[in-house]
Chains A and B, each alone.
Chain A
Amino acid sequence: MAEAATVKLDVPGRRRHSWLSRIPWFSTVILSAVILLGIAGPFVVPHDPIESNLMDSFTPPFQAGTYPLGTDNMGRDVLSRIVGGARISLIVGMTVVFVAGALGTVLAMMAGFFGGWWDSVIMRVTDTFLSLPYLMVALVMTAVLGPSVRNIIVVLVVIGWAGYARVLRAEVLKMKEADFIRLAITAGASRWKILIKHIFPNVVNTLVVLATLQLGTTIIAEASLSFLGMGVPPPHPSWGLMLAQGRDYITYAWWLCVWPGLAIMLTVLACNLLGDWLRVRLDPKFRQL
């Protein structure tokens, strides 16, 4: 008696793979666009984002003229300003993420791996910084130091490093018990060497995910500061500043608020999606942050 031939059954398809893993194209496109605009923007824009042209003020968008997204109250081309804003957001965002990330990572590794006194002190400092209402503190600090791009970066780094430190320390603690670390210690490697060679490569995954997500958060923070008037000083085109300025004219120039907001949203969305995608790809055990 022969075994029955394999039953031909329809396989209900797509379920297993999360829809998220198909999305990075969106993030890649958006973020590449932002980066490109940030780098090449000033050379590509149709108008000077800073120069005012009162004759053309309040031109609505989508008209067949030279201002595709309209102009603001000073006659400046909104599109050009958006491109300029991209550059600011990018510079601030990436610098802050890089510096805060580096600082937070180093401290986390020290706290987690060296343990004892180091851990207690670093953790207490981290806790303290994490308990501060970041926007309030950022506002005050910027007000005191004076609004400028450099100061904003400094302020956001001071506030931001603690987030990295806490998360990464947890990762380092998990790894401390791993066998290969014990092996390295018994083999006589120095503590710093172990940190750099063994621990860091393993926390890099988490760091990358966190950094990507924090990029979005930092951009929003910068925009918030600018919105409240304590960010990038005018006439620099910051998205947040554009929103603040546009608010006054909202009743008859709706486009002044919509485009900058859209720009922020798309960029941050792209960061979040990318971060999620990376999280799924790099560490499937990762739960909600």
Chain B
Amino acid sequence: MDRTLLEVKDLRTYFFTKRGVVKAVDGVNFSLKKGETLGLVGESGCGKTITCLSLVRLVPQPAGRIVGGRMIFEGEDLLRKSEKEMRLIRGSKISMILQDPMTSLNPVFTIGEQVAEPIRLHQLLRGTKVWEKVKEMLRLVRIPSAETRIREYPHQMSGGMRQRIVGAIALSCQPKLLIADEPTTALDVTIQAQFLRLLKEIQQNFELSMILITHDLGVVSRVCDKVAVMYAGKIVETAEIRELFNNPSHPYTIALMSSLPNIDRKREMLQTIEGQPPDLSNLPPGCAFAVRCPNRMEICSGRYPPEVGVGDGHYVSCWLSTPEAQSHG
């Protein structure tokens, strides 16, 4: 039985601005199985968020447009669907959690109202059945005294609780895919751990697939099965989690990992990656990381490296891993 839930092929999303064309997502490929968690990692501005917005076709308009590729979800190409069909999918089959819990909830509606809305929209329940479901969802995300919370407003809750409510909203219609955009960045460290544990639990119980966007490799190591590293709108390396940590191949991945402070090693300078993040409206023909890469070769800035396999399920786009390049030097 085919367990692939989502397959993204050559996704391209560009922004057309006065200053030029910004290639936010430039040929992204990945796939996701049922129940699997994919971590999407990279610096700010590398295209992780836009990739996910493209998945639900909520790219900011009119400047942004998906210009190419295919997104096959449950066997159907999402790019071929009408807006009305997409609306039915959003919130029910594919859900999203945003980064800042403080601003994700509408201040003028009660918690109950906000959780109830997708239930009413997608599951067509009415009356008391809706409220039963709402309470069930609040309990699922471990909100205590759900009865009273339903009538309260967002400003009466803490950040951690708000994020869980956002989670409840996202999960209320049993989606097949949950996209979480930096869900823990705005939370305290201890709350982070709790939230991630909760997500993992729910995922296991409901066979939920997740895409987790983050710049924090620590979070990735705890929750993800698979990781895709993004840079300048492209995926530069993708692998199973253990494989990636044991065997990082792309210089960017290696740099990301070494910039994590390590408790074992004593008194080191924190490593930073030299150079500036790339200008997405002005990308070089070759590898965008080349200018910052400590191991760059001549071919790197000239031509974009092909994707090659360097292990089981482990793919890299880097000339260093391509045997042909070695001979060029």
Contacts and interface: CB of A to CB of B under 8 A. Distances in A.
Tell me, yes or no, whether A and B come into direct contact in the complex with CB atoms closer than 8 A: yes
Contacts of B306: 1
A2 interface: yes
Contacts of B304: 1-3
A124 interface: no
Interface stretch (A5-13, A182-190, A235-243): A5-13
Given A3-B303, A3-B304, A9-B21, A15 B14 contact: no
A2 B14 CA distance: 20
Interface in A4-34: 7, 9, 11-12, 15-17
A17 B17 CA distance: 11
Contacts of A15: 18, 62-63
B60 interface: no
B303 A7 contact: no
B107 interface: no
Given A1-B306, A7-B67, A12 B62 contact: yes
A24 to B, nearest CB: 19
Contacts of B17: 16
Q: Classify the interface of chain A: helix, strand, loop or mixed.
A: loop
Interface residue tally of chain B, by bracket? 10 to 19
A96 B21 CA distance: 49
Given A1-B306, A3-B286, A12 B16 contact: yes
Interface string A274-286: 0000000000000
Interface string B251-288: 00000000000000000000000000000000001100
Contacts of B12: 7
A7 B67 CA distance: 10
B67 A16 contact: no
Interface string B89-115: 000000000000000000000000000
B16 A11 contact: yes
B63 A11 contact: no
Contacts of B285: 3
Nearest to A7: B67
B62 to A, nearest CB: 6
B72 to A, nearest CB: 21
Given A9-B21, A16-B18, 16 more contacts: A1-B303, A1-B306, A2-B303, A3-B285, A3-B286, A3-B303, A3-B304, A7-B67, A9-B14, A9-B67, A11-B16, A11-B21, A12-B16, A12-B62, A16-B17, A17-B18
Interface of A: 1-3, 7, 9, 11-12, 15-17
6 contacts: A1-B303, A3-B285, A3-B304, A7-B68, A15-B63, A16-B18
